[in-house]
């Protein structure tokens, strides 16, 4: 039992690995196969590789505004790996790392930030809600979805992910409040990366922790070390299992850091001290987990080389797919407004088409 053990009001935080990757909590170290552990590491490498690539593509003019995930690898991978096939993910817009684990290949995320709606038309069967740009609005939607699963008596939970800034929105309050009242099978995962663009966490709430807010809604909340993939995995898994079993919602605050700019349009050096960034670089979630694997005798140079080569290949393929994806047609921007196109849209489409064709002909 992890939930309930770490009192957020006392500032207690769940950790399995310390910043060097040494096990500090043997009792709660998850007993996972080597394959699974390598799987975590592999996903984190792919996430970072895909992220670095997206950032570079933006600089080359091949990508629109993109929100980097660097520093969030452990929280995204750990949480997504904790989900069961039937669960639904209501992601934070930074969640590339979680999406690809949940059956949404990287090129969808690329397409989305390149500016193509097809990027939100996820593959059939992927139980993932598209990114919500209005901050925090995925929270009550995820709760409603979870409530639906409960009404239908399906063993299914919703993992709802968002940032620290989002906790100031009314949607956070509504989502938490409705989930508590309806005992909805929802797990709230706050990726507290300390900043909401340029506004620090202290400006979002006078509360000591975000996790403690759960207390007021009548269900447990806890802080985990968000750069410790094992801690995130174990806490989220327990919370999801509890939700599916009818035990109600949980709020998990993952203590992490945005190692990059807010988006490619931002310059974080304008508002946050270099020393802070440097201090967090020492807590890099990937390095930490590598140390753990090395100590266990799992990590070798050879493994790193193979995994990185594979990650590079996957990302190259994603770039290729995104950049060669068929361009949307003019009709597409009308076609999905309603199930059936109403007469006024038929008319507008016909007029626009005529103008565009004339323009092309000239």
Partner 1 sequence: MPALNIVEAVRLALREEMRRDDSVLVMGEDVGKNGGVFRTTEGLFDEFGEERVFDTPLSENGIMGTAVGLAVNGFRPVAEIQFMGFIYYTLNHLICHAARLRNRTRGNLSVPLVLRAPYGAGIRAPEHHSESTEALFAQIPGIKVVVPSSPADAKGLLKSAVRDPDPVVFLEPKKIYRAVKEEVPDIEYLIPLGKAKVVKEGKDLTIICWGAMVKVAEEVALKAQEEKVDVEIIDLRTLYPMDREAVINSVEKTGRALVVHEAPKAGGLGAEIAATINEKALLRLKAPVLRVTGQDITVPMPKTEDYYIPDAERVLRSIRKIMSF
Q: Which residues contact Mg ion by CB under 5 A?
A: 163-164, 193, 196
**Shortest gap between Cβ of 193 and Mg ion (angstroms)?**
4
Residue 129 binds to partner 1 (criterion: CB under 8 A): yes
The distance of closest approach from Cβ of residue 183 to partner 1 in the complex, given in angstroms and rounded to an integer, is: 13
Nearer to ligand TPP, 156 or 260 (CB): 260
Of 135, 286, 311, 318, which lies in the binding site for ligand TPP, with binding defined by CB under 6 A? 135
| Other C-beta atoms lying within 10 Å of the C-beta of residue 335 | 13
| Identity of the residue, 147 or 214, whose beta carbon is nearer to ligand TPP in the bound complex | 214
By CB under 8 A, is residue 326 in contact with partner 1? Answer: no
Distance CA 199, CA 272 (A): 9
Which of these is catalytic: 262, 288, 290, 292? Answer: 262
Residues 6 or more apart whose CB falls under 8 angstroms from that of 285 comprise 44, 71, 72, 73, 74, 75, 226, 227, 228, 229, 256
Query: How many other C-beta atoms lie within 10 A of the C-beta of residue 309?
Result: 10
Residue range at the interface with ligand TPP (CB under 6 A); choices 164-172, 311-319, 333-341, 349-357 = 164-172
Question: Measured between alpha carbons, how far is 201 from 195 in angstroms, rounded to an integer?
Answer: 6
Residue 335 binds which of Mg ion, partner 1, ligand TPP, none (CB < 5-8 A, kind-dependent): partner 1
Instruction: Tell how strand 186-192 and strand 250-255 pair up.
Output: parallel
Concerning whether 262 is annotated as a catalytic residue, the answer is yes
Pick from 144, 200, 218, 247: which binds partner 1 (CB under 8 A)? Answer: 144
Q: How far apart are CA 154 and CA 152, in angstroms?
A: 5
Q: How far is the CB of 137 from Mg ion (least distance, A)?
A: 16
Please select the residue that binds ligand TPP; options are 71, 91, 130, 165, rule is CB under 6 A: 165
**Residue 343 beta carbon to Mg ion: minimum distance, rounded to whole angstroms:** 45
Nearest approach, Cβ of 105 to ligand TPP (angstroms)?
22
Q: How many residues bind partner 1 (CB under 8 A)?
A: 41
Helix intervals (H) in 82-161: 96-101, 106-114, 138-151
Whether residue 160 contacts residue 128, with contact meaning beta carbons closer than 8 Å, is answered with no
**Residues 6 or more apart in contact with residue 352 via CB below 8 angstroms:** 330
Alpha-carbon distance values, 255 to 14, 71, 188, 195 (Å)? 10, 11, 14, 12
Residue 84 touches partner 1, criterion: CB under 8 A: no
Q: Which does 262 bind (CB under 5 to 8 A by kind): ligand TPP, Mg ion, partner 1, none?
A: ligand TPP
DSSP letter at 14 equals E
Strand 199-200 and strand 195-196: pairing?
A: antiparallel
Annotated catalytic residues are: 258, 262, 271
Q: Where do contacts with partner 1 occur on this chain (CB under 8 A)? A: 117-118, 120-122, 129-130, 132, 134, 137, 139-149, 151-152, 170-171, 174-175, 177-178, 181, 332, 335-340, 342-345
């Amino acid at each position: 039992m992890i939930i309930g053990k770490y009192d957020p009001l006392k500032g207690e935080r769940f950790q399995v690995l310390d910043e060097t990757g040494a096990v500090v909590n043997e009792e709660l170290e998850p007993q996972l196969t080597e394959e699974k552990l390598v799987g975590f590491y592999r996903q984190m490498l792919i996430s970072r590789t895909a992220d670095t690539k997206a950032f570079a593509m933006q600089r080359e003019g091949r990508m629109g505004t993109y929100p980097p995930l660097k520093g969030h690898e452990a929280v995204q991978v750990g949480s997504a790996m904790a989900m069961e096939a039937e669960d639904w993910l209501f992601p934070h817009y930074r969640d590339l790392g979680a999406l690809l684990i949940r059956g949404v290949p990287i090129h969808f995320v690329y397409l989305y930030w390149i500016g193509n709606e097809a990027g939100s038309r996820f593959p059939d069967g992927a139980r993932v809600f598209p990114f919500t740009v209005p901050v925090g609005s995925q929270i009550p939607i995820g709760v409603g979805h979870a409530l639906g699963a409960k009404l239908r008596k399906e063993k299914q939970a919703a993992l709802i992910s968002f940032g620290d800034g989002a906790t100031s929105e009314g949607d956070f309050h509504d989502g938490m409040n409705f989930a508590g009242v309806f005992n909805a099978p929802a797990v709230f995962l706050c990726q507290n990366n300390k900043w909401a663009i340029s506004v620090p966490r202290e400006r979002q709430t006078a509360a000591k922790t975000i996790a403690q807010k759960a207390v007021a809604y009548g269900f447990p909340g806890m802080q985990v070390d968000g750069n410790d993939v094992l801690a995130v995995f174990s806490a989220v898994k327990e919370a999801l299992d509890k939700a599916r079993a009818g035990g109600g919602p949980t709020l998990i605050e993952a203590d992490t850091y945005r190692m990059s700019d807010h988006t490619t349009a931002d310059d974080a050096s304008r508002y946050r001290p270099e020393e802070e960034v440097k201090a967090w670089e020492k807590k890099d979630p990937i390095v930490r987990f590598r140390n753990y694997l090395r100590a266990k005798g799992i990590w070798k140079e050879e493994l790193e080389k193979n995994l990185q080569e594979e990650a590079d290949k996957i990302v190259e393929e994603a770039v290729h797919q995104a950049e060669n994806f068929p361009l949307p047609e003019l009709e597409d921007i009308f076609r999905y407004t309603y199930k059936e196109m109403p007469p006024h849209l038929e008319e507008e489409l016909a007029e626009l088409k005529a103008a565009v064709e004339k323009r092309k002909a000239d």
